[in-house]
């Protein structure tokens, strides 16, 4: 798909879709689905930096999401219902702290493990994800163990933001910030260095790319974005507990990235939106088709979900909206990546 078609499409996804959702009768259900979709969009954008752009298979990704959520809960003095919200940090201070905690954890995990290649990195990060979840489950004094922690709602100018639409706009802001930051990085020397490492690590190093540093940046960036998403998740749910940060979440997010088009920002946004919204759409399909009560789709929901994924992968192995570089790998004779930005000046 040419670039000219991509940008409006992305804008459409980010602006028109939520607007549509909001113009619907503002049931808490629609808002909740919209927020779930956006949360997955943010998570997929973050994982796309690590896996899609830098080519580092991080299977412990959801642990950083959990760290962001728990950091927020703990700093806001969440806890068992009766003890919650007494003298904790404000949400607006907890957000950057949660991002920093997740990013710092990414740094600590990344420093020793990013020397490993491919499969080995995947195994180490997988183990890290399990360790994080076990810690959350068992460090009762800090996390209240399996009972989880209650988290207060954000307060803005003395006003407690409880309504779905209020939280929705906070999340939309976070997602737009994430998307803009990742897009900027991707279209810069940093993004080119990521592609170079993915293509040929030895050649990249010989060309002056500080390979360990650039890889670490991708890893920390992904972890920080997951931390941001986790921080929002904590206040949106008002509750954090270990089962939310299970390994299967990493797999789901990875599926969104791959299905949408690994390495491609519009693709990843679309992939996340599709996979997050599809189960809910399937749930309400009989109603939408006016067949309410005639058949129950719920038992087949996940089957249809899986079938949809298989169909997409079979028809578009490069994803729904593939990255130009990736498309080139799978369809070497088709059109070219976007051209050099400054070409007009250069030609003159």
Partner 1 sequence: MTEQAQQARALLSLREVTRRFGGLVAVDRLSFEVPEGGVFSVIGPNGAGKTTAFNLISGLVPPSDGQLLFRGASIVGTKPYELARLGLARTFQNIRLFGAATVWENVAVASALRAPTGFVQAMWRLAGFEASRKAQEAAALEWLDFVGLSSLRNELARNLAYGQQRRLEIARALATRPSLLLLDEPAAGMNPRETEDLVELIGRIRALGLTVLLIEHDMPLIMRLSDRIAVMNFGHKIAEGTPAEIQANPEVIKAYLGDGEEG
Q: Decide: is 173 part of the binding site for partner 1 (CB under 8 A).
A: no
Could you tell me how many residues of this chain bind partner 1 (CB under 8 A)? 37
Shortest distance, CB of residue 58 to partner 1, whole angstroms?
Answer: 18
Least Å distance, CB 225 to partner 1, is: 11
217 is an interface residue for partner 1 by CB under 8 A: yes
| The only residue of 124, 196, 268, 272 in contact with partner 1, by rule CB under 8 A | 196
Cα–Cα dist 212/218, whole Å: 10
Specify whether the CB–CB gap between 61 and 226 falls below 8 A.
Answer: yes
Q: In terms of Cα–Cα distance, which of 162, 156, 169 is closest to 90?
A: 156
CB of 204 to partner 1, least distance (A): 7
Q: Binding of partner 1 at residue 188 (CB under 8 A)?
A: yes
Per DSSP, 54 falls in state S
Binding mask 326-345 for partner 1 (x = CB under 8 A): x-xx--x---xx-xxxxx--
Instruction: Give the span between the Cα atoms of 65 and 226, in whole angstroms.
Output: 4
Among the listed residues 284, 286, 287, 303, the one whose alpha carbon sits nearest the alpha carbon of residue 29: 284
Residue 348 found at the interface with partner 1 (CB under 8 A): no
Q: How far apart are CA 7 and CA 21, in angstroms?
A: 21
By beta-carbon proximity to partner 1, the closer residue of 101 and 195 is: 195
User: 189-212: buried (b, 16+ CB within 10 Å) or exposed (e) per residue?
Assistant: ebbebbbbbbeeeeebeeeebebe
By CB under 8 A, residue 202 contacts partner 1: yes
Four-CA torsion 189, 193, 196, 201, nearest 10 degrees: 160
* Neighbouring residues of 186: CB distance < 8 A, sequence distance ≥ 6: 53, 194, 265
Please give the backbone phi and psi of residue 105, each rounded to the nearest 5 degrees, phi first.
-60, -40
Contact (CB, 8 A) for 110 and 219:
yes
Contacting residue, 190, 281, 285, 297, with partner 1 by CB under 8 A: 190
Stretch that binds partner 1, among 37-45, 79-87, 201-209, 277-285 (CB under 8 A): 201-209
Task: Please identify, among the stretches 141-149, 238-246, 248-256, 323-331, the one whose residues bind partner 1 according to the rule CB under 8 A.
Answer: 323-331
Asked if 199 interacts with partner 1 (CB under 8 A), we say yes
CB closer to partner 1, 146 vs 337 = 337
Pick one of 9, 176, 211, 281: the residue that binds partner 1 (CB under 8 A).
Answer: 211
Residue with structure tokens 């489950």? 137
- With binding defined as CB under 8 A, does residue 195 bind partner 1? yes
Q: Which of residues 261-280 bind partner 1 (CB under 8 A)?
A: none
Taking the complex as a whole, the smallest distance from the CB of residue 178 to partner 1 amounts, in Å, to 10
> How many Å apart are CA 103 and CA 225, to the nearest integer?
8
Answer yes or no whether residue 189 interacts with partner 1 by CB under 8 A.
Answer: yes
Interface contacts to partner 1, rule CB under 8 A: 181, 184-185, 188-193, 195-196, 199-200, 202-211, 217, 325-326, 328-329, 332, 336-337, 339-343, 346
């Amino acid at each position: 798909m040419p670039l000219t078609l991509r940008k409006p499409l992305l804008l459409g996804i980010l602006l028109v879709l939520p607007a549509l959702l909001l113009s619907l009768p503002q049931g808490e259900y629609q808002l909740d689905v919209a927020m779930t979709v956006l949360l997955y969009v943010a998570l997929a954008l973050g994982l796309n930096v690590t896996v899609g752009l830098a080519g580092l298979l991080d299977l412990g990704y959801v642990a950083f999401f959990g760290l962001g959520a728990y950091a927020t809960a703990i700093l806001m003095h969440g806890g068992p219902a009766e003890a919650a919200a007494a003298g904790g940090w404000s949400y607006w201070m907890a957000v950057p702290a949660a991002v920093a905690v997740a990013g710092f954890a990414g740094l600590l995990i990344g420093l020793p493990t990013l020397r490993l290649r491919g499969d080995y990195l995947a195994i180490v990060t997988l183990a890290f994800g399990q360790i994080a979840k076990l810690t959350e489950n068992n460090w009762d004094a800090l996390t209240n163990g399996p009972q989880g922690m209650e988290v207060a709602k954000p307060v803005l100018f003395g006003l407690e933001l409880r309504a779905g639409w209020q939280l929705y706009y906070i999340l939309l802001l976070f997602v737009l910030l994430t998307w803009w930051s990742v897009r900027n990085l991707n279209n810069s020397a940093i993004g080119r260095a990521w592609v170079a490492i993915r293509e040929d690590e030895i050649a990249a190093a010989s060309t002056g790319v500080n390979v360990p540093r650039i890889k670490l940046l991708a890893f920390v960036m992904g972890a920080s974005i997951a931390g941001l998403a986790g921080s929002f998740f904590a206040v949106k749910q008002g509750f954090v507990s270990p089962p939310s940060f299970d390994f299967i979440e990493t797999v789901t997010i990875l599926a969104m990235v791959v299905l949408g088009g690994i390495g491609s920002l519009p693709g990843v946004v679309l992939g996340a939106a599709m996979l997050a919204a599809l189960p809910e759409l399937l749930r309400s399909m009989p109603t939408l088709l006016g067949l309410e009560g005639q058949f129950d789709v719920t038992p087949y929901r996940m089957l249809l979900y899986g079938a949809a994924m298989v169909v997409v992968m079979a028809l578009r192995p490069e994803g729904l909206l593939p990255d130009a570089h990736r498309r080139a790998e799978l369809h070497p004779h088709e059109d070219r990546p976007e051209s050099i930005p400054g070409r007009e000046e250069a030609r003159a």
